[in-house]
């Protein structure tokens, strides 16, 4: 039994350990055992980050001493202890019964008078500063939460828009009782915590009126890949509970932290969420808050401005840096924020260590691959990079969770902590609602199971008992397939891999894959194709945006209107989307070089873009027609190329991603190269300025035979073995009839490549290869190394095997020449 000192905590000169209430600005991370991780973190930021501009709402916290005093004064320990003896949390019915009894015991026991007085006095002080019956947020904070390997987030209750001393006391009492919610009991027992060893603190903060503005969650790390150099910010209208619980699909933003800290504006991704509802004050109602519909016009715009996103990301950096220094190790953070609709100010309302990627083994590369695909039943946002499968179990109400069977796929509208007792038994989780920072996503990551959130129609499309495969290994779009599809898990230890002298680069086209691919050992990106971004993200011909009135197809016009609805000037859509796509790839591999090839669509491919048919000629053989460099200075396309230049200037100048090297494809003559460089300079991309390098594709016989002259124009070469083979052997590589003759290993092709490498090196220019051949043929990679090529750019799935081949070849070459042996 505790030695109880019933003195009121009004006298703040007492030691912290025997006070009932403490101001938040008087606690910090050394006080986790006293006020819990959540409140300790708020105090830590108030004390240490306020001077750097990070704003945290004022308030106070009840202490662990107050909680234990409450239990002890009423003799509750003796009544609670027997409830947990022999409890099997896997038995959902038993768990629910025990939780109900424990909460009833807590709620029917009144607070001691001393504790009521302490809370009332502290609330009165807030009211003196912020007004009569100040509205406050009341949140639970367990003394064991936010440990490095266990997140207690969401286990206990939160109450918003609480006004008046009596309401504050009632909410604090309910928070105390919520230490015995079913999910909290289950979580503690699973993690090995004794139920009565954990105490509960209650944080009382002045409300941020985000019901009149917006709120959200942000992570100082990419939640899906663990890539640590971006901050993920999510935002929706109204109070933040909807984002946390996954009741809305929020806006998402990615900000690149290294150049943000240098003063740039590296917003590398923006994704508009549906944001269909918002939580607001229930003025005059029977509840504290309520959900209302968001007006359609507001759904179709971002909830916060770019400037606010960048400000939040800066705060995420400051918070991460502070906690990393304090803990003596890199500590990514999970942060909740809110915007006050009255003052327009931003606030941080919670911050805790991220508990998934910070605990992962980083020297093991795991990748899942579907061996076949099938009928796609529905799609959403993928969480994790795995594959899960089993029979679907559609459950619409948490009161029916006892129906769930281990190994099934949980399908529901959304989850909250009440669902956690069964989530750990699921092979995968699928929800209608939610974004990458919702409850279902966070718990799925912690449990290490795949999840797809924000499907909209999962509960109506999928049926209980139906066999399904949940695939999160195909990019940001998660796919639910009919049936149990075969898949492969590959695990590759990254320790002790050789690092050859020849640079091993990657071909990366999809920005959504960039952060995941960056974990593969590499020296940068040898080819980032703008065509992929234009075709998949932009979808519109640039001239159709510049001359929208010339698009005479009503269906195409409507699709373009839909895609560009956020932009008053349609060409800005092209620039922003292209900059974000290329910027994401450049950020993923920063500061390593990322060679971005300017667009190399053929006229028939351009015509397939929305509106493209009105601006493209009909060509008999587009493969060797109006493509690459010849377009860039041609009056018929120069305006489109200007948009590409504007986007690349934004990446380098506004985002600060100067690791981007630009490359010109299909440049037939040195004079054509000079013309292109002159056009680029007119649009602010001046070769040599701000370190800008411009390479040329070496894919035409003329590039090889005049490599000495091209060396006077460009900074480097990248061999395109596909086109070089086509034009050397006189083959149309799109023709099936002569496909058997297409072979990059042909002696004529190899002789040209040998000559190109020798000439480039003789003139002090870098030369690499970005074609398919070294990915397909190990012997071709050996040939390139023997010629002394500077870099080989490979498809991601062939990097590791080719890396080993390159290292072995270098060792063999070193044994027969004076070239030094590469380090292991």
Of 664, 656, 640, 658, nearest to 592 by C-alpha is 658
Measured between alpha carbons, how far is 511 from 525 in angstroms, rounded to an integer? 12
Q: Is position 473 annotated as part of the catalytic site?
A: no
Measured between alpha carbons, how far is 85 from 80 in angstroms, rounded to an integer? 10
> What would the 3-class secondary structure string for 198-227 be?
CCEEEEEEECCCHHHCEEEEEECCCCCCCC
Cis peptide before 591 (omega within 30 of 0): yes
- DSSP letter string, 10-75: T-TTS-GGG-SEEEGGG--GGGHHHHHHHHHHHHHHHHHTGGGT-----EEEE-HHHHHHHHHHHT
What is the CA angle 111-117-118, rounded to 5? 100
Measured between alpha carbons, how far is 191 from 188 in angstroms, rounded to an integer? 5
Measured between alpha carbons, how far is 39 from 35 in angstroms, rounded to an integer? 6
The encoded tokens of residue 815 equal: 């044994």
Which of the residues 439, 472, 473, 667 is marked catalytic?
439
Question: What is the tally of helices (H) and strands (E) in the chain?
Answer: 30, 30
- Strand extents, DSSP E, 145-288: 158-162, 200-206, 214-219, 230-237, 251-256, 267-271, 277-281
Of 180, 199, 193, nearest to 38 by C-alpha is 199
Mapped onto helix, strand or coil, the DSSP state of residue 407 is coil
The DSSP element (H or E) to which 773 belongs, if any, is helix 773-776
Determine how many CB atoms are found less than 10 A away from the CB of residue 335.
Answer: 25
- Strand extents, DSSP E, 257-325: 267-271, 277-281, 289-293
Measured between alpha carbons, how far is 658 from 690 in angstroms, rounded to an integer? 8
* Cβ-Cβ contacts under 8 Å for 365 (sequence gap 6 or more): 490, 491, 492, 493, 494, 519, 520
* Cβ-Cβ contacts under 8 Å for 442 (sequence gap 6 or more): 151, 153, 334, 356
Strand 364-370 with 214-219, pairing: unpaired
Torsion of CA 813, 816, 821, 824, to 10 degrees: 60
The DSSP element (H or E) to which 133 belongs, if any, is none
Strand 503-507 with 487-493, pairing: unpaired
Measured between alpha carbons, how far is 26 from 14 in angstroms, rounded to an integer? 12
> Helix 778-786 crosses helix 799-816 at what angle (to 10 degrees)?
40
Residue with tokens 């390098």: 693
Which of the residues 175, 455, 698, 770 is marked catalytic?
770
Residue with tokens 């590296």: 266
Q: Residues 56, 347: contact at Cβ < 8 Å?
A: yes
- DSSP letter string, 637-694: THHHHHHHHHHHHIIIIIS--TTEEEEE-S--SHHHHHHHHHHHHHTT--TTGGG--E
Measured between alpha carbons, how far is 705 from 760 in angstroms, rounded to an integer? 11
Q: Is position 439 annotated as part of the catalytic site?
A: yes
CA distances from 23 to 126, 382, 586 (A): 10, 41, 45
The DSSP element (H or E) to which 547 belongs, if any, is none
The encoded tokens of residue 229 equal: 């150099």
Q: Residues 172, 20: contact at Cβ < 8 Å?
A: no
The residues that are catalytic are 439, 770
């Amino acid at each position: 039994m505790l030695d109880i000192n019933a003195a009121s905590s009004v006298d703040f000169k007492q030691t912290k350990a025997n006070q009932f209430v403490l101001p938040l600005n008087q606690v910090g991370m050394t006080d986790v055992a006293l006020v819990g991780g959540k409140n300790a973190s708020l105090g830590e930021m108030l004390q240490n980050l306020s001077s750097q501009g990070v704003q945290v709402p004022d308030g106070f916290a009840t202490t662990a001493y107050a909680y234990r005093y409450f239990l002890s004064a009423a003799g509750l320990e003796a009544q609670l202890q027997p409830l947990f003896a022999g409890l099997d949390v896997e038995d959902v019915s038993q768990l629910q019964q025990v939780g109900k009894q424990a909460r009833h015991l807590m709620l029917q026991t009144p607070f001691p008078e001393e504790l009521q007085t302490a809370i009332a006095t502290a609330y009165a002080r807030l009211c003196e500063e912020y007004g009569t019956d100040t509205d406050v947020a009341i949140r639970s904070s367990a003394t064991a939460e936010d440990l490095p390997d266990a997140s207690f987030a969401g286990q206990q209750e939160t109450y918003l828009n609480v006004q008046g001393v009596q309401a504050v006391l009632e909410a604090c009492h309910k928070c105390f009782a919520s230490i015995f919610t079913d999910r909290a009991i289950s979580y503690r027992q699973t993690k090995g915590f004794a139920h009565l060893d954990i105490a509960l603190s209650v944080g009382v903060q002045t409300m941020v009126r985000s019901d009149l503005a917006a709120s959200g969650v942000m992570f100082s790390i990419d939640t899906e890949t663990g890539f640590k150099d971006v901050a993920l910010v999510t935002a929706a209208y109204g109070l933040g509970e909807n984002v946390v619980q996954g009741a809305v699909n929020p806006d998402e933003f990615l900000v690149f932290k290294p150049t943000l800290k240098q003063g740039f504006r590296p917003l590398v991704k923006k994704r508009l969420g549906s944001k269909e509802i918002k939580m607001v004050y229930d003025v005059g109602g029977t509840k504290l808050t309520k959900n209302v519909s968001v007006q359609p016009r507001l759904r179709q715009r971002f909830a916060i401005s770019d400037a606010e996103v960048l400000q939040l990301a800066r705060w995420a950096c400051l918070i991460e840096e502070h906690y990393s220094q304090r803990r003596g190790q890199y500590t990514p953070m999970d942060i909740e924020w809110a915007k006050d609709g009255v003052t327009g100010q931003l606030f941080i309302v919670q911050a805790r260590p991220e508990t998934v990627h910070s605990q992962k083994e980083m020297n093991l590369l795991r990748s899942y691959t579907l061996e076949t695909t099938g009928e796609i039943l529905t799609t959403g946002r993928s969480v994790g990079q795995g594959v899960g499968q089993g029979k679907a179990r559609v459950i619409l109400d948490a009161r029916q969770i006892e129906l769930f069977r281990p190994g099934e796929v949980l399908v529901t509208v959304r989850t909250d902590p009440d669902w956690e007792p069964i989530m750990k038994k699921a092979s995968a989780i699928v929800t209608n609602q939610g974004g990458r920072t919702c409850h279902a996503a966070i718990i799925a990551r912690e449990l290490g199971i795949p999840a797809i959130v924000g499907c909209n129609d999962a509960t109506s499309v999928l049926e209980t008992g139906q066999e399904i495969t949940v695939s999160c290994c195909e990019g940001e779009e998660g796919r639910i397939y009919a049936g149990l599809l075969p898949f492969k898990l590959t695990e590759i230890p990254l320790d002790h891999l050789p690092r050859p002298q020849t640079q091993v680069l990657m071909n990366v086209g999809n920005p959504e894959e960039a952060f995941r691919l960056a974990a593969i050992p590499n020296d940068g990106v040898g080819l980032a194709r703008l065509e992929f971004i234009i075709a998949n993200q932009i979808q519109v011909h640039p001239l159709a945006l510049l001359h929208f009135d010339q698009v005479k197809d009503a269906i195409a016009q409507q699709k373009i209107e839909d895609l560009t609805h956020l932009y008053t000037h349609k060409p800005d859509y092209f620039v922003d989307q292209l900059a974000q796509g290329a910027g994401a790839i450049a950020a993923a591999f920063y500061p390593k070089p990322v060679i971005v090839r300017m667009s190399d669509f053929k006229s028939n491919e351009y015509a397939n873009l929305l509106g493209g048919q009105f601006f493209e000629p009909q060509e008999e053989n587009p493969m060797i027609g109006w493509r690459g460099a010849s377009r860039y200075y041609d009056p018929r396309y120069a305006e489109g190329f200007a948009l590409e230049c504007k986007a690349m200037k934004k990446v380098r100048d506004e985002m600060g991603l100067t690791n981007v090297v630009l490359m010109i494809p299909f440049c037939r003559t040195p004079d054509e190269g000079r013309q292109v460089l002159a056009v680029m300079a007119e649009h602010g991309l001046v070769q040599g300025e701000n370190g800008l390098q411009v390479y040329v594709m070496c894919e035409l016989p003329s590039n090889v035979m005049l490599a000495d002259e091209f060396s006077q124009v460009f900074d480097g070469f990248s061999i395109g073995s596909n086109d070089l083979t086509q034009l050397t052997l006189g083959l149309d590589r799109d023709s099936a009839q002569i496909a058997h003759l297409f072979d990059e290993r042909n002696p004529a092709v190899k002789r040209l490549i040998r000559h190109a490498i020798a000439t480039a090196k003789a003139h002090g220019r870098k030369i690499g290869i970005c074609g398919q051949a070294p990915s397909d043929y190990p012997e071709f990679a050996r040939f390139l190394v023997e010629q002394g090529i500077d870099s080989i750019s490979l498809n991601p799935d062939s990097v590791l095997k080719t890396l080993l081949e390159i290292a072995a070849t270098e060792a063999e070459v070193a044994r027969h020449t004076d070239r030094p042996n590469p380090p292991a």
